[in-house]
């Protein structure tokens, strides 16, 4: 631990440098560690809360350890379960003024459940092995509370939460006090009536037995594939046997008819006898679903259980709960996102814990830990902007837990979690990244499962709207209901109980069309800039997305920094490619998860690295009426894989990533991609690229649903191609200052095989079809620039006219727009786009001529956007702006 403490004693300024005016160069190895490696907050950081959570790296009592997530083949240090911590906080570094001291605890996080006074605060933590009174203290860290944070909502201490839960059953969802209101409120609710009729039929269903949900042939499969296939055969079994129990409990609460409760009891006692080590209910998801169902019934049906039956359920709940909890403290709270826990099993454990607290001795500790982690970490994969870093394919897996844990912890604490900044911004993330009747952003695991608006997205948005109080979200939900009424007609779904719980027959839902919202919204925390020409009408919308993620390709994310997605009328024109057959099979690790599968840059044919170390960020964004702009920086995304978690995944397949030709380090030093969307269906990309030595740069474009074909080009420094899309035309022209070649094909570099019989959203086995790809590659140069002009529109694309070429500077005319660009990598970067009413300028001088007048930049090195309308000129300007993680919590 001395090495760790010495490291943290060398805190200096942020690892950033301004080599060019207005430009920030980040030099951190990572912005988000997979497992916490440095304390927070420290170094005099001005925090954004009046009651921050103190966090620090784990120790085994001797040194810092990096415990892996659940399910990892990398063994965790057994010593992490043999450590205790305590924390002290004060207004002075000697710890004599306004001292706050924690109790001894087993986890490495300490939420401050009280408002701190503005000014400087100091803190430190200590650790000791269990059974030892020898405490080792860290150095002293400091932070600043901003006076502007005063008045923020503060969560109560865990002691108050525990006290609020010491009530008679039923206590889940505050039914001890809310039950009568719930019953009366829903007596005339049509949805409740439909559900009760459904529950009547449910009681006629036979008791389930332990058997696969489906059978998949494992002949000829590798041992690892067989293991995954067997898991897939039982996937969903826990929900299939557990959900009927919670549904019958809900039906009882709606009707007071004990027939429903007696049948729930019959089913609960049946699944309580299922083998906790068996294939059917032995893994984290299936066992967690059983655990939650038993918690539901134990709480709701407590009064009809015999003492023997109570004892049996307590034993089974304790056994299954301990299997989850015993691997959490000093591990889970430190992980950037242990996906399975946050997605599902934290909800399972919390519901069961609340049900048995007071009856199972360990439950008090379980709830204390769960509440403290929730208070400190939620939302786990975002900070304030409402975004989700893994992309929208896997975001939906978290929806149910987000809804119900926000409700449950709100019931326990009195805190309205819908008032968190992230929750307030979430409606805008939903709208901008997955509009009604549209595909979503094409990146992250399972992105290909959302080529349209999905039922799960609509149901979640509808549930969220019950508490969000956002008129734009109300419009979003109403539009989805109009487009897809069939999504909302089933008698039961994941969010039915939540709707019943929050049902108000007099509820008013004011709607506001997003037509008055900015055309661009930058979700900088997760690295997504979303642009729409018409957010209010998908049939008229051209949307473009630039992704550059501070989390890197963590978890279900992908090595897609500075990748683009382009959707037209809700259909994906350019985006990702490949198929999610498994988290880490060969197609996944050598193609789907890599940069080869995304519309970004390859370097000497190599991908960006996977893991948190391969990160990007969005330094700049501007939103005008006719021009929208975003800049992504992926300069830190390339190199050899460093993450031990991902290296282990290669080891499991017997593959050395260095020998695959997919990963490696060729010394990339700069990759800044400017994306500009222009009125009239034009998107311009300008790439600034630099390496330590000459390399070949490949700019890629994938059309996952359409064919591509080359178009004639009169110059070796220009390449043109077309996407054979329906309902419009899509072309792209790529320009460079050096010779470039183009290859268009429809084969994956690593074949996609559906060996696990993965199903699509309709339940049919998915066909892994070939997709079309275009790569434009330069000769080997150290510094490179690409200009790409994409046109997507109903009518024929504009002819691109070359007005001037010389000294690397090119002037093009595309309709009314004139584009001036510097393509010579040895000269200063420059991109200017304008017409009579608007001008965009990057790399120009301090003075800009526009509409017959001279305008002066406010900041050297800025990006400038000017638009004239009704005799007035709107001026927008920006230089690089750091993401919040660098401001508040990056390694220093």
Token pair 């000129």: residue: 873
Whole-number pLDDT of residue 10: 30
Among 108, 571, 21, 577, CA closest to 331: 108
The number of beta carbons lying within 10 Å of the beta carbon of residue 146 is: 13
The Cα–Cα gap between 40 and 54 comes to 6
pLDDT tens digits along 735-753:
999 999 999 999 999 999 9
Indicate the length of the chain as a whole number: 892
Among 486, 452, 444, CA closest to 597: 444
Whole-number pLDDT of residue 313: 99
The Cα–Cα gap between 775 and 732 comes to 12
- 212 Ramachandran zone, left/alpha/beta (phi>0; psi -120 to 50): beta
CATH hierarchy code of domain 532-799: 2.70.98.70
Token representation of residue 454: 């999905």
Terminal-residue alpha carbon distance, the chain: 19
CA torsion 529→533→534→540, rounded to 10°? -130
Whole-number pLDDT of residue 64: 84
- Asked whether the CA dihedral 131, 135, 138, 144 is positive or negative, the reply is positive
Looking at domain 156-377, does it have CATH number 1.50.10.100? Answer: yes
Beta bridge partners of 801: 813
Quick one: 687 exposed, middle or buried, by C-beta within 10 A (0-12, 13-18, 19+)?
Answer: buried
For 641-685, the DSSP string reads: ---HHHHHHHHHHT--GGGSSS-B---EEEEEEEEEEETTTEEEE
- The upper half-sphere exposure of residue 470, i.e. CA atoms within 13 Å in the direction of its Cβ, equals 23
Whole-number pLDDT of residue 7: 32
Question: 735 by DSSP, 3-state: which?
Answer: strand
Q: Which DSSP helix (H) or strand (E) runs through 225?
A: helix 223-234
CATH hierarchy code of domain 383-517: 1.50.10.100
pLDDT tens digits along 65-93:
876 666 667 777 888 899 999 999 999 99
Token representation of residue 259: 């027939």
In the predicted model, residues of the chain with pLDDT beneath 50 are 1-14, 18
For 5-26, the DSSP string reads: HHHHTT--S-SEE-SSTT--EE
The Cα–Cα gap between 743 and 709 comes to 10
Q: How far is CA 531 from CA 353, 418, 682, 795, in A?
A: 44, 26, 12, 21
| 31-154 and 383-517 share one fold | no
Strands lying side by side in the sheet with 697-703? 601-603, 697-703, 772-778, 740-745
Q: Where are the domains of the chain?
A: 31-154, 156-377, 383-517, 532-799
The Cα–Cα gap between 696 and 698 comes to 7
Question: 687 by DSSP, 3-state: which?
Answer: strand
Among 874, 428, 883, 432, CA closest to 627: 874
31-154, what's its fold? Immunoglobulin-like (2.60.40)
């Amino acid at each position: 631990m001395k090495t760790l403490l010495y490291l943290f004693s060398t805190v200096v300024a942020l690892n950033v440098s301004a080599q060019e005016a207005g430009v920030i160069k980040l030099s951190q190895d990572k912005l988000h560690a997979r497992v916490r490696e440095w304390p927070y907050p420290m170094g005099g950081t001005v925090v954004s809360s009046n009651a921050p959570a103190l966090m620090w790296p784990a120790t085994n009592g001797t040194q810092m350890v990096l415990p892996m997530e659940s399910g990892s083949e990398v063994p965790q240090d057994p010593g992490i379960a043999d450590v205790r911590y305590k924390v002290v906080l004060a207004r002075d570094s000697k710890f004599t003024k306004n001292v706050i001291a924690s109790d001894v605890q087993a986890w490495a996080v300490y939420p401050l459940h009280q408002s701190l006074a503005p000014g400087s605060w100091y803190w430190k933590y200590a650790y000791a092995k269990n059974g030892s009174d020898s405490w080792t203290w860290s150095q002293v860290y400091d932070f600043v509370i901003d006076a502007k944070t005063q008045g923020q909502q503060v969560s109560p201490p865990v002691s108050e939460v525990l006290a609020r839960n010491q009530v008679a059953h039923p206590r889940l969802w505050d039914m001890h006090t809310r039950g009568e209101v719930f019953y009366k409120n829903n007596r005339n609710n049509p949805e409740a009536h439909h559900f009760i009729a459904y529950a009547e039929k449910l009681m006629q269903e036979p008791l389930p037995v332990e058997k696969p949900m489906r059978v998949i042939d494992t002949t000829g499969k590798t041992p690892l594939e067989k293991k995954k296939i067997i898991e897939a055969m039982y996937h969903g079994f826990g929900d299939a046997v557990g959900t009927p129990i919670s549904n019958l409990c809900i039906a009882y609460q709606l009707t007071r008819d004990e027939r429903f409760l007696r049948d729930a009891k019959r089913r609960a006692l049946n699944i309580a006898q299922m083998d906790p080590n068996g294939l059917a209910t032995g893994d984290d998801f299936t066992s967690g679903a059983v655990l939650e169902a038993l918690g539901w019934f134990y709480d709701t049906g407590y009064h009809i259980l015999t003492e023997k039956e109570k004892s049996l359920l307590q034993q089974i709940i304790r056994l299954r709960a301990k299997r989850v909890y015993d691997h959490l403290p000093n591990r889970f709270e430190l992980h950037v996102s242990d996906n399975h826990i946050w997605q599902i099993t934290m909800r399972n454990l919390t519901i069961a814990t609340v049900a048995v607290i007071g009856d199972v001795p360990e439950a008090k500790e379980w709830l204390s830990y769960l509440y403290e982690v929730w208070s400190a970490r939620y939302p786990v994969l975002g900070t304030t902007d409402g975004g989700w870093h893994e992309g929208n394919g896997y975001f939906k897996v978290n929806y149910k837990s987000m809804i119900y844990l926000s409700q449950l912890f709100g019931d326990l604490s009195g805190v309205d979690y819908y008032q968190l900044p992230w929750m307030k911004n979430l409606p805008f993330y939903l709208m901008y990244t997955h509009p009604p009747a549209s595909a979503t952003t094409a990146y992250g695991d399972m992105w290909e499962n959302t080529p349209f608006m999905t039922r799960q997205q609509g149901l979640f948005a509808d549930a969220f709207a019950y508490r969000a109080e956002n008129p734009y979200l109300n419009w979003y939900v109403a539009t989805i209901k109009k487009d897809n009424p069939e999504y909302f007609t089933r008698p039961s779904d994941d969010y039915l109980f939540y709707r019943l719980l929050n049902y108000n027959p007099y509820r008013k839902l004011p709607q506001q069309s997003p037509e008055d919202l900015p055309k661009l919204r930058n979700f900088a925390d997760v690295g997504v800039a979303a642009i729409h020409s018409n957010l209010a009408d998908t049939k008229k919308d051209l949307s473009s997305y630039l992704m550059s993620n501070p989390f890197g390709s963590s978890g279900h994310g992908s090595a897609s920094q500075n990748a683009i997605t382009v959707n037209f009328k809700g259909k994906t024109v350019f985006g990702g490619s490949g198929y999610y057959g498994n988290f880490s099979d060969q197609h996944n690790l050598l193609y789907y998860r890599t940069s080869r599968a995304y519309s970004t840059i390859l370097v000497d044919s190599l991908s960006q690295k996977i893991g948190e170390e391969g990160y990007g960020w969005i330094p700049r964004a501007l939103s005008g009426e006719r021009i929208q702009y975003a800049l992504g920086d992926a300069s830190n995304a390339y190199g050899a894989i460093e993450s031990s978690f991902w290296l282990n995944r290669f080891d499991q397949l017997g593959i050395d990533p260095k020998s695959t030709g997919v990963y490696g380090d060729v010394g990339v030093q700069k990759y800044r991609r400017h994306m500009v969307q222009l009125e009239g269906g034009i998107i311009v990309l300008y790439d600034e690229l630099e390496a330590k030595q000459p390399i070949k740069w490949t700019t890629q474009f994938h059309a996952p649903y359409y064919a591509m074909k080359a178009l004639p080009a009169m110059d070796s420094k220009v390449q043109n191609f077309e996407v054979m899309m329906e309902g419009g035309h899509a072309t792209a022209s790529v320009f460079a200052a050096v010779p470039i070649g183009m290859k268009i094909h429809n084969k994956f570099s690593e074949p996609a095989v559906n060996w696990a019989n993965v199903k699509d959203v309709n339940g049919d086995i998915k066909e892994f079809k070939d997709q079309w790809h275009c790569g434009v590659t330069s000769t080997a140069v150290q510094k490179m620039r690409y200009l790409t002009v994409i046109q997507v529109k109903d009518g024929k694309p504009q002819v691109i006219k070359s007005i001037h070429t010389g000294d690397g500077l090119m002037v093009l005319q595309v309709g009314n727009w004139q584009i001036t660009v510097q393509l010579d990598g040895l000269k200063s970067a420059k991109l200017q786009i304008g017409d009579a009413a608007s001008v965009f300028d990057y790399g120009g001088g301090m003075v800009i001529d526009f509409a017959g007048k001279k305008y002066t930049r406010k900041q050297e090195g800025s990006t400038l956007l000017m638009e004239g309308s009704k005799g007035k000129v709107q001026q927008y300007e920006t230089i690089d702006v750091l993401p919040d993680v660098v401001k508040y919590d990056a390694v220093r």
